[in-house]
Structure 1
C-alpha cells in the first residue's frame, strides 16, 4: 500500500519549512514611486495607496499616481508574492490576455506597465487602469434582485461567447509552437497534476488516480480558443447594471472552451445553486452560450470538464494550504481550505462517474 508521503510519480516527501517571506506595503509604495518616476521621466508621487482585501493569489493595491506633468491617474498594482498561492509568479498570462483583448469587445482593464523581473519593487508585477464599480460576491447573490442577476448573467454569457470567438492564433497568447503531437488542453490537465504531485503533507489517492484518468481521456475540443481559466461570478466588475471589466486572467491559456463553461456552472460560484447566478437553468445557459459563441456544446466534453473543474478546485485548495502552512503566506482564509477537501473529493468522484 502506498503511504501518505509517496506519489505515483515517485516525488519526494515534504521538505523543511521555510521562513516567512512577505511583501511590505510601505516598501512597495516607495518602490512604486521610484519606478513610475524613472519610467515616465517625471517625478511621480503615490497617494491613496491601499491594499485590496479581495483575491487569494496576486496582492492587489489601488493608488493614485500624481505626476509633475499634471497627469494624475487612478491605477491598480498587482504583485506576485514569493510565497503566494501560485508562486513563482509570471506576469505573462495576464499581460498577454490584456494585450490580446484590448478593443475586441471583451471588456478588460487597460494595461499600463509590467515587469517580470520586479524592477524597483523586487517582485513580478503589472499595473493597469482602475475601473470604478462593484465586484459581486458569489455567496451574496441572494441579496440581489433576480432581474438584476439575470441581466448580468446574460452579459456574462455574451462576453464568454465573444472571448471564444476570437482567433487565439492571432494573439500574443499563441506563443506555444503548433506541433501535431502537442495538445494545449491536455497540458492544462497535466499542469494541475504536477501541482498536486508537489511534496505536500496531504495525499488523496482518488485525486492521484483521477488526474491520470483526466489526462488520458481528455476529449478533442470543437476548436481551440482563449480560455480564461477562472471565468465565474465574482471575477468581473459591474457598474450600473453593466459588466465593465473581466478580471483575473492569470490562468489564461489556449484550450477547450468547454473548460470555461464548466467552471462557470460550478455551484460553488453560484451561491450553491445549479443555476447560473441562481437564476438561469443549465439548459438555457448552454443554449445562450451556443448562440453567443457559435460552438456546439458536447455533453460528453462538458461532463469531462465539470470533473476537471472539481479536480482543479482541489488542486487550488492544496496550493492554498501549502502557501499557508509551508511558505507562511499570512492569509487566514487559506488556513481553512483543507477542511473543504472531503466535500470536493466526494463531488469529484461523482463527476468522474458521470464523465466516464
Structure 2
C-alpha cells in the first residue's frame, strides 16, 4: 500500500489509513490518492480519497468521530444499517470497512463509497432555480422519505442491528433524548424540562414500526441536476414511528429547508406523503412529533454547547431564545 498526492496537514490520517487498508484483503495492494478533508460537520469528520487497486479507482470517504459535536452516535450501528440497506433500492452508499473502536484510525470510523452529486441545505429556497423545479424537488424528497418508511427492514436483517420499540416508540425516543440532556447539560434548562414533562404525558402509541432516518433534510441528499443520487448520514437511523421523520421535516425550525413560501407548505408535504405512502396521518400524533422534534433540536444545541466549552468543538452551539420559544409553542400546540 502506498500513498501519493499532497497530504499536507493530513499526514497522520494518511498514515493511519494506509496501515488500516493494508490489513484489508481487498485493499492491501491499493494506492491512496487525493486525501482531502471535506470539513468537519456538526457530528462527523469526513475525509475524501480515491483508492486504486489493480488499475480500478474507487472513490471513498472516511467518516470518523470528531472530538466534539452536536450528537454522539455509534459507527458500528451506522455501518450495519448501510450494509443492510445495500439491497433496499434506496440510494445509499456502500459501506466498505469499519474501525468500530478507533484502534486503527484513531477514532471510531467507517469507510464508505463516495457517490456523485452535491448537496444544498437551502435548495428549495434557491431563487436561481425555477419555482416549478423546486416544487418538483420537494415532491421528490417527500417520495424518498416515504420510500425509506416502506423498506422491508425485517427482510433486510436490520432487526439484528436496530431494536424495535414497538408501539412505545414515542416514549423510547423521548427518554433517549432526555438522557442526552441529562448527560450534557451544564446548567438548568427549565424550558426543556417543561417540554419533557408535557410530552411525556401525551406520548402517542405507534400504529407500526418502520425504518426512521431521523435527520432527513436536503443537506443529507446528493443531487445530480434534479435527480437524487444519494441519501446520506444514517448515523441516527433507528426503528420507530414514521411520524417521527414527518414531524422532523414539518417542524417550524426546519421550514427554511423543507418548505417553499407560497408554493409548498408543511400541509402540502403531509398531503403528498399520504398520497405516496397510502397511509393516513393522524394530525394529533403528528403534532406531538413536531413538538418532539423542536425539543430534540434544543437538546442537540445543549450537547453542542458542552462540546464547545470542553474545547472539543469550534462553534458554540446553544439553545437560542428562538429555539426555546418555538419549542414551547410547538409543545403547547401539540397537546392542545
TM-score scaled by length of structure 1: 0.84
* Aligned residue in 1 for 2:82: 98
* Change in 2 beyond 3 A, CA 1:177/1:97: closer
Please give the alpha-carbon distance, in whole angstroms, between the structure 2 residues aligned to 1:139 and 1:310. Answer: 22
User: Is 1:348 aligned to 2:332, yes or no?
Assistant: no
What's the CA shift string for 1:28-54, capped at 9, x where partnerless? 221111111220363333211111126
* Aligned residue in 1 for 2:117: 133
* Aligned residue in 2 for 1:14: none
Please give the alpha-carbon distance, in whole angstroms, between the structure 2 residues aligned to 1:278 and 1:244. Answer: 28
* Aligned residue in 2 for 1:43: 29
Please give the alpha-carbon distance, in whole angstroms, between the structure 2 residues aligned to 1:278 and 1:75. Answer: 40
* Change in 2 beyond 3 A, CA 1:170/1:276: farther
Please give the alpha-carbon distance, in whole angstroms, between the structure 2 residues aligned to 1:319 and 1:50. Answer: 28
8 A Cα contact 1:149 1:279, kept in partner: no
**Corresponding residue to 2:309 among 308, 311, 325:** 325
* Aligned residue in 2 for 1:210: 195
User: Is 1:111 aligned to 2:95, yes or no?
Assistant: yes
Structure 1 gaps, min length 5: 1-23
SS of 1:150's equivalent? helix
Please give the alpha-carbon distance, in whole angstroms, between the structure 2 residues aligned to 1:95 and 1:306. Answer: 28
Q: How many residue pairs were aligned?
A: 324
The CA deviation at 1:199 is 5.0
Instruction: For 1:86-235, list aligned pairs within 5 A.
Output: 86-87=71-72, 89-138=73-122, 141-143=125-127, 144-175=129-160, 183-198=168-183, 200-235=185-220
What's the CA shift string for 1:89-137, capped at 9, x where partnerless? 4113322321232232321111111121224212111111111111012
What's the CA shift string for 1:154-203, capped at 9, x where partnerless? 111111111111233334432366687x8343221111101111253332
Please give the alpha-carbon distance, in whole angstroms, between the structure 2 residues aligned to 1:323 and 1:45. Answer: 36
The CA deviation at 1:284 is 2.2
Please give the alpha-carbon distance, in whole angstroms, between the structure 1 residues aligned to 2:107 and 2:262. Answer: 39
8 A Cα contact 1:227 1:254, kept in partner: yes
Please give the alpha-carbon distance, in whole angstroms, between the structure 1 residues aligned to 2:184 and 2:147. Answer: 39
SS of 1:214's equivalent? helix
Structure 2 gaps, min length 5: 1-8
User: Is 1:257 aligned to 2:236, yes or no?
Assistant: no
Please give the alpha-carbon distance, in whole angstroms, between the structure 2 residues aligned to 1:138 and 1:36. Answer: 37
The CA deviation at 1:266 is 3.0
The CA deviation at 1:308 is 0.4
* Aligned residue in 2 for 1:6: none
* Change in 2 beyond 3 A, CA 1:317/1:170: same
**Corresponding residue to 1:316 among 292, 297, 300:** 300
SS of 1:168's equivalent? coil
* Change in 2 beyond 3 A, CA 1:351/1:136: same
Please give the alpha-carbon distance, in whole angstroms, between the structure 2 residues aligned to 1:227 and 1:221. Answer: 13
The CA deviation at 1:254 is 0.7
* Change in 2 beyond 3 A, CA 1:25/1:104: same
8 A Cα contact 2:98 2:109, kept in partner: yes
8 A Cα contact 2:117 2:224, kept in partner: yes
8 A Cα contact 1:233 1:277, kept in partner: no
* Change in 2 beyond 3 A, CA 1:183/1:140: closer
Please give the alpha-carbon distance, in whole angstroms, between the structure 2 residues aligned to 1:100 and 1:131. Answer: 18
What's the CA shift string for 1:232-273, capped at 9, x where partnerless? 221100002101111111111111111101111234434278
* Aligned residue in 1 for 2:5: none
Give the ranges of 4+ consecutive aligned residues of structure 1 lying more than 4 Å apart after TM superposition.
Answer: 176-180
User: Is 1:78 aligned to 2:63, yes or no?
Assistant: yes
